[in-house]
Amino acid sequence: MKVLDWWEIKDKGLYWVYLPNGDIEIINVAVNGVFTYIGIDDEFVFTSEEHAGYKFVRAEPPKLPVPSQYQEGHLNHQRNNGDSRFPFHVEGYWRQRELMVEHVGPGRHTAAFLDRQDAELPWPYIWQIPEFDVQHFINKLADIEDVADEARYRGFSICRITGENRGNCEYKYKGWKWPGGLIEYIRLGVPPSRAFYAFIMDVPQNECEWLPTYNRTEDE
């Protein structure tokens, strides 16, 4: 920080003005040297008669931290997934639309009103989490799918992100179940829930706290 006299002000920007009587004001200096007081549109110029006893300090704007990818992903995840959750020991079934639309009263609903059960499911957000080794998890999940019970159903699921066919099978393994297309969501960058990751990787949940819970409790 450098204290300046009026003739030393060369750069535009905000300055603290220390008056001879002890008062402090803020001015905004323009390119051509004129300045305005905050909240007043009138322009003024520096003069030796007016500003001889004044001191000025450049007011540097604070450097706010840039949100990390984790913070941005968490914000996006929470924006539309505030209270949504997967059913007990079920992973990877997503609601039909990104925005959750609620019933607004008896006999009244929005044009895109969703079935309540579907609306309570999460939405898949791509979220790059530095601590999450995507390929390592995919490899482990694929190994488990090789030995899990597999059931096939009529029709097929459409990917909520790309619109591609995500298949029509469901895996069941040690009390958990998930759709066959889940692995492709993971590949796209959608993180699994903390509980499902801990189950697949056979680790305690406190070792993967950087993953979202999808509002599961620890015993889920």
Cross-strand bridge partners of residue 15: 27, 58
pLDDT score at 113: 45
- pTM score > 0.85 for this model? no
Give the pLDDT confidence score for residue 111 in this predicted structure.
40
The predicted-structure confidence for 17-58, as pLDDT tens digits, reads as follows: 999 998 999 999 987 778 998 778 788 999 988 898 999 999
Are 199 and 216 in contact by the 8 Å Cβ rule? The answer is no
- The tokens describing 200, both together, are 């697949």
pLDDT at 79: 62
Asked whether the predicted pLDDT for residue 100 surpasses 60, the reply is: no
Cβ 195 vs Cβ 60: under 8 Å = no
Q: What is the pLDDT of residues 124-167, one digit of tens each?
A: 888 888 899 999 999 999 999 999 999 998 778 889 888 889 88
Residue 63 pLDDT exceeds 80: no
What's at 37, amino acid-wise? Y
Please, what is the Cα angle at 25 between 24 and 26, to 5 degrees?
Answer: 135
User: So what's the pLDDT on residue 18?
Assistant: 94
Burial grade of 190 (CB within 10 A; 0-12, 13-18, 19 or more): buried
